[in-house]
Amino acid sequence: MSSNYSNKIFSNYFLVIISISIVLFLISSFTLIALNSEKIINDFKENIPVVVFIKDQSNKIELSKFEKNLEINNTIKKFDFISKKDAANKLSEEIGEDFIDYLGYNPLYDSYDIFFTSDNVNNLFIDQLVEEFKNESFVEEVTYDAPLIDLINKNILILKQWSLIIGSIFLFISIILMNNTIRLSVYSNRLNIKTMQLVGATKFFIKKPFIITHIKLGVLSSIISSVLLVAILYYLNLNFFAIDFEKIKESVFITILFSLGISVIISYFSTSIITGRYISSNIEKLY
């Protein structure tokens, strides 16, 4: 009998930990994304290139002077020189055949991919700079994705507002799910609660062990969710795309603390309120 009861308690607590861990993981994931949303948008903006195509007859002195001007320009984050040969090789890989053999010559140009700091990625600023580039005698053409930049800058505020709304709704739903999980856990001990009350135990004495237990379960769930979140970040970094952990370490730390705080607060108040309800209930209603 004792063994079966112990197994039941273990199973109950195990389900509580799993359920709360999943909820906290979802909260942590959204919190981390929200905290880094501006960084993500800025990184995306800083990877939109302005492509400057260079005429074939350009001399090295002109290009060297052009590169020096790019290097001292504080609005430019970086630039890459792409030779017409490298561009042809890349295009051949993309289309799956050597188009130079078919055409008999390389129609592409040497080019510079120029990337700007996020604060300067706007059509007004870039259009002015593009006109300056076009006035250079060695420049054949200048192109960039103007509609994409315009779309990002116009919708960035809307994205932030919707993120806040969706985050609030998601947090509310998560709190309800955690509360229901704790309620089901306490429900399995409702008769023990009433028995303790009948033998003269005070409300605080009855609530205390349940509160302590569920806070411990909440903290353990927070640790599990945080470990899972960090593990997934490392997995994504190794297998899909590079993550600069130095840039996001502060937001990761805040996310972990937020997860821990949410788990402790909800565990405390939910357990206290739910236990109090069973203490105040008539014994007939517990069956």
Cβ atoms of residues 251 and 163 within 8 Å? no
Q: What is the pLDDT of residue 4?
A: 57
To which H or E segment does residue 112 belong? strand 110-116
Question: Which amino acid belongs to residue 24?
Answer: L
182 plus 81 within the same structural domain: no
What's the distance, CA 228 to chain centroid? 14
167 plus 195 within the same structural domain: yes
Q: What is the pLDDT of residue 52?
A: 92
CA distances from 167 to 27, 30, 175, 262 (A): 9, 7, 12, 14
117 plus 247 within the same structural domain: no
Q: Which residues contact 203 (CB under 8 A, 6 or more apart)?
A: 276, 279
Considering only residues 31 and 102, tell me which one the structure prediction assigns the higher pLDDT: 31
Is the predicted pLDDT of residue 285 greater than 70, yes or no?
no
Work out how many domains the chain is built from and give that number: 2
The confidence band for 261, taking pLDDT boundaries of 50, 70 and 90, is very high
69 plus 159 within the same structural domain: no
161 plus 270 within the same structural domain: yes
Average pLDDT for 150-170:
79
Count the neighbouring beta carbons within 10 Å of the beta carbon of residue 79. 18
pTM metric for this prediction: 0.68
Q: What is the pLDDT of residue 276?
A: 82
61 plus 176 within the same structural domain: no
Q: What is the pLDDT of residues 5-57, one digit of tens each?
A: 455 556 667 887 888 888 889 888 888 888 888 887 888 888 889 999 998 88
Q: What is the pLDDT of residue 237?
A: 83
Residue 3's Cβ-side half-sphere holds a number of Cα atoms within 13 Å equal to 0
Is the predicted pLDDT of residue 1 greater than 50, yes or no?
no
Q: What span, in angstroms and rounded, lies between the C-alpha atoms of 229 and 184?
A: 26
134 plus 239 within the same structural domain: no
Kindly state the percentage of the chain with pLDDT values over 70.
Answer: 93
Q: What is the pLDDT of residue 283?
A: 61
Q: What span, in angstroms and rounded, lies between the C-alpha atoms of 12 and 70?
A: 64
Domain that holds residue 90: 49-144
Q: What is the pLDDT of residue 6?
A: 55
Average pLDDT for 199-228:
87
Residue 88's CATH number: 3.30.70.3040
Considering only residues 222 and 37, tell me which one the structure prediction assigns the higher pLDDT: 222
Average pLDDT, the chain: 83
Considering only residues 7 and 102, tell me which one the structure prediction assigns the higher pLDDT: 102
Q: What is the pLDDT of residues 235-244, one digit of tens each?
A: 888 887 777 7
